[in-house]
Amino acid sequence: QVQLVESGGGSVQTGGSLRLSCTASGLSFEQYDMGWFRQAPGKEREGVAASAFDGAARYAESVKGRFTISRDTGKNTMSLQMMDLRPEDTAMYYCAVVRNGNPGQWYEEYEYNYWGQGTQVTVST
């Protein structure tokens, strides 16, 4: 049974940093493409960043230069380092994985098979 568990969310002020983690069980990370999504109240879920099984990283324009996605296959853990946080980054953040995903569609929810329960990030002014 595949399970993804996010952690690391919290409340910070504008300009602050947070590091989210996603720990997986029931699968071998090195065979999966992974992504981080977020959903703010009243908005659709959007792709934030993705890490392909070959290590290629992709980011939404809104977070480029501020967020960094990484993975530790030995620990079956994926991370999202978030810096220079802004109020518009406030959302529930989710990790997701898919095997043999379409890199061109990394930002689409339907590409992913398994999802975590989410961790809340709140950025205040």
Assess contact for 116 and 79: CB atoms under 8 A.
Answer: no
Query: CB–CB of 100/109 below 8 Å?
Result: no
**3-state DSSP call for residue 110?**
helix
pLDDT at 16 over 90: yes
> pLDDT at position 103, please?
86
- In terms of Cβ atoms closer than 10 Å to its own Cβ (0-12, 13-18, 19+), residue 77 is middle
What is the token pair recorded at 121? 């990030």
Measured CA to CA, the distance from residue 115 to residue 3 in angstroms comes to 8
Q: Please give the structure tokens belonging to residue 10.
A: 């919290």
Contact 22, 29 (CB under 8 A): no
pLDDT, mean over the chain: 95
Q: For 20-64, what is each residue's pLDDT tens digit? A: 999 999 998 888 999 999 999 999 999 999 999 888 999 999 999
Tokens of 46: 């959007």
pLDDT tens-digit series, residues 59-90 = 999 999 999 999 998 899 999 999 999 999 99
CB 6, CB 94: distance < 8 Å = yes
Q: Which pLDDT value is given to residue 22?
A: 97
pLDDT band at 111 (very low <50, low <70, confident <90, very high): very high
CB 6 within 8 A of CB 115: no
